Amino acid sequence: GPASANVGDLLAYRIDVSNPGDLPANELAVELDVPDGMEFVDSTQPAENLGNKLVWRLGQLGARQQTSFQVQLRSNREGSVTNCCRATAAGGLKANGCATTTVGRAAINVRVTGPQRAAVGDEVYFEINVENLGSTPATDLVISDRLDQGLELKTDRGHGIIKNKLGDLAPGESKLIGVTLVVTAPGRLSQTIEVSGPTVATASAQAVLTAVAASGDAPALPPPADERLGPLPGATPDATPPAVQIEISGPGRHVVGEMARFFIDLENKGISSLYGVKVINSFDRSIYPEQASAGFQKEDMALSWRIEELQAGQKKRFQVIYKCETATPRAVCRAAVELADGRRVTDETSLEITAAPEPEKTPTMPEIEAPSEDLRLSVVGLRNPVAVGNYLTYDIRVINNGTIPYRQLRLTAVVPEGMAPNPLGTSPPELFKIDGQTIRFDPIGDLPAGKTFTYRVRVRALRVGTYRFRVELTSPMLPQPIAQEAETEVF
């Protein structure tokens, strides 16, 4: 069956029953428990519908023969759903098979940014950002741009509704579309963007432009407080300083090996909301980020966060914990905020890092060597065996059964040849890097005593065979790595 689907989709599953023996299988029957969140629609073989159980009575299946049929189910809610069927025959013969489908929902978000003011005759550039915030693909998307009279598309000097095919968007994927318009009349002019598709609810956004007469006789109107900050590339930048403040603070001195905590404080001191705000924290090579506030993205020697809207007077605080890597009189840590129109405000602070003291002075975060038997690593394939072309998820768990926390736990997964790693479904998201057949996860800063941390690795079966999926766990607190394997049959 399908590896993923949207809520409300009609899902087709194929059930294959084979008799590899030398004698016929009599009184053959197949049962399927319809899981919660699914409903039966139809099947190519007549089925007995017993509430949440379906039964197909197939009679006799000859020696070395196979029969197949399809069943259609409808997905009604999000989540991971496993359909399992059982085949039984006279003489106590029985077999089982399961298929797992991840049911999600595509959710489209639309933003449009551009200038707020222009004169008649000006060309104005707007940028439209369409993003899939859901967990499943958004397919066959169509984008439309409805223009007020007074705004015309530069390419054909037409107004009204402009429609184009946008195609598909994978979960987390976004597309940028640039539109150049010509202002042909004064007034408050708007364009409304709508994105629709068969698997998503229609999403919309609007941009308003105040147009003045080209002669300059008419006084320029101030932009209303509820309009978005602009302009973007292609329009004249606003030279006024932004009404936003960013400050970074942290300790003045630390020792190599210790952890230093920095705070980034952001405030919108203006009277209107700011949209499309980006916060950037860059750092020297003498320090390395170990933990940070949720929602960050890794960049080259920097972390960043995106804020869709920062309301007037709103404050936000971000935290980053750095490990002091090398001694230096001045390790610089910088903070910057970038607005949608390209304007930028920065701040920085510095930290003195001294060489590590003698062992008897005890560093702030000593690397305690804990007994490795307190730490348990397990890996299980959630679908075994699996057919060629289908997806399989490995559930990996790190369990601390000891009395002290484990620090700097790093997990590496090696996907065997014959399978292919799939970033969609591998988690935690944004905390791993795929290099060929190897997946390296970012370290766990701290796993407290009695706690469990779970990883998921999703792969696709490419060739028939028996494969071993291997994971390895390392830490400065472990005398040696811990490794586990899971065997998977691909047919």
pLDDT of residue 4: 76
Which residue, among 147, 172, 328, has the nearest Cα to 254 in the 3D structure?
328
Q: Using one digit for the tens of pLDDT, what is the confidence trace for 386-434?
A: 899 888 899 999 988 877 788 889 999 999 999 999 988 888 877 889 9
Q: Which residues of the chain have pLDDT under 50?
A: 157-158, 216-239, 361-371
pLDDT of residue 145: 86
pLDDT of residue 147: 87
Return the CATH fold of 4-104. Answer: Immunoglobulin-like (2.60.40)
Query: Which DSSP symbol is given to 372?
Result: G
In whole angstroms, what is the distance from residue 83 CA to residue 14 CA?
11
pTM equals 0.35
**Residue 455: what are its φ and ψ, rounded to 5°?**
-115, 155
In the chain, where the domains are located: 4-104, 108-212, 244-361, 372-490
pLDDT of residue 215: 53
Query: What's 372-490's CATH class?
Result: mainly beta
Return the CATH fold of 108-212. Answer: Immunoglobulin-like (2.60.40)
pLDDT of residue 235: 37
Summary count for the chain: helices (H), strands (E): 0, 38
Strands of 148-271, DSSP E: 151-153, 160-169, 174-183, 187-197, 200-212, 244-249, 253-255, 259-268
**Residue 360: what are its φ and ψ, rounded to 5°?**
-70, -15
3-state secondary structure of 285: coil
pLDDT of residue 365: 42
Q: Using one digit for the tens of pLDDT, what is the confidence trace for 47-61?
A: 898 878 999 999 999
3-state secondary structure of 96: strand
Which residue, among 263, 265, 264, 322, has the nearest Cα to 291 in the 3D structure?
322
Helix (H) or strand (E) holding 104: strand 93-104
Domain 244-361 belongs in CATH node 2.60.40.1530: yes
C-alpha 414: how far from its chain's center?
A: 22
pLDDT of residue 292: 87
Exposure string of 411-432, with b = 16+ CB inside 10 Å and e = fewer, is bbbbbbebbebbbbbbbeeeeb
Q: Using one digit for the tens of pLDDT, what is the confidence trace for 349-358?
A: 999 999 876 6
In whole angstroms, what is the distance from residue 139 CA to residue 136 CA?
9
Contact 393, 100 (CB under 8 A): yes
Sheet of strand 108-113, all strands in order from the earlier edge strand to the far edge: 108-113, 123-132, 174-183, 151-153
Q: Which percentage of the chain shows pLDDT scores above 70? A: 89
Burial (Cβ within 10 Å: 0-12, 13-18, ≥19) of residue 75: buried
pLDDT of residue 361: 46
Q: Where are the alpha helices (DSSP H) in 273-431?
A: none
pLDDT of residue 375: 83
In whole angstroms, what is the distance from residue 395 CA to residue 249 CA?
40
3-state secondary structure of 20: coil
pLDDT of residue 322: 92
Q: N- to C-terminal Cα distance for the chain?
A: 15
Do 4-104 and 244-361 show the same overall fold? yes
pLDDT of residue 439: 93
In whole angstroms, what is the distance from residue 245 CA to residue 336 CA?
9
pLDDT of residue 406: 83
pLDDT of residue 218: 38
